[in-house]
Amino acid sequence: MAQFQEVIRQELENSMKQDLERLQATACKAEAEITRKDFEGFMKLFHRFLQEKGPSVDWGKIQRPPEDSHLNKTYNTDVPLVLMNSFNTDEDTDKILQKYTHCRVKIHTFNQSRYPRINKESLLPIAKDMSKMGDNADTWYPPGHGDIYASFYNSGLLDKLIAEGKEYIFVSNIDNLGATVDLYILNHLMSQPNGKRCEFVMEVTDKTRADVKVQDFLMRFESIPDMLELDHLTVSGDVTFGKNVCLKGTVIIIANHGDRIDIPAGAVLENKIVSGNLRILDH
């Protein structure tokens, strides 16, 4: 049965590839390259669709950009605002952005990929050509927020910003009014020596409910450790941290089954492996 299903999946993928090639052949020269990239991304998504089933996702609505840029105004800097559109909203967004030309912020836009809708029965594209008008208007769709990385790269805007010296991006849904740039986190990222990234690994082995796990996790810290110079942290087993603990470099803490490790208050662990049993008792 599994072998038969695999043959069917391969046949569907081959048919889809042929139909996409037929559609791509109708694209104008200016759209040919971006269409090719879109269809490459769509084929990967279609492959996943055939492999597994998952729930649908409701995406938020795009709202207008802010009137001013707090970062640029406060710190006299040049942080651009980048908006990801779909082919459905691109023209309307361009019209709206005309009223923001006086603002102290550069606004860039790029489009999500354009993927073909597929027939439920045949699992092949509904569109007959690359047109977005008439009967073809509803035969294409933008794949959603998860497409930001691929479409940002494909648009060429990523290369442009890198060439301008930009190194970090802050990503948020535009309707998330609580989202803000945390300069403490940004400074922490920029302070990592030799471009190293922080890596954290937490192993959860019990079978309790998730909200019980979170509460148990928080109770293991009397205060959040100083991790400014930490590169890698692995914690496994029954481990607790006292106040004002400092972790640097690579730190691995492993409590054996049935044992417990209490990291004492004020402890400084730099490039250390702690294992076995360590108890700090009140007396």
Which tens digit of pLDDT belongs to each residue from 231-270?
888 888 889 999 999 998 888 888 887 888 999 999 999 9
CB 31 within 8 A of CB 25: no
Its pTM stands at 0.50
Q: How many of the other CB atoms lie within 10 Å of CB of 249?
A: 15
Domains of the chain, by residue range, sit at 207-282
Using the structure block, give the residue that is written with the tokens 């603002």. Answer: 103
Tokens representing 125? Answer: 């594209």
CA 44 to chain centre: 17
Chain segment 82-97, per-residue pLDDT in tens: 999 988 888 888 888 8
- Between 277 and 229, name the one with better pLDDT: 229
For the domain covering 207-282, report its CATH number.
2.160.10.10
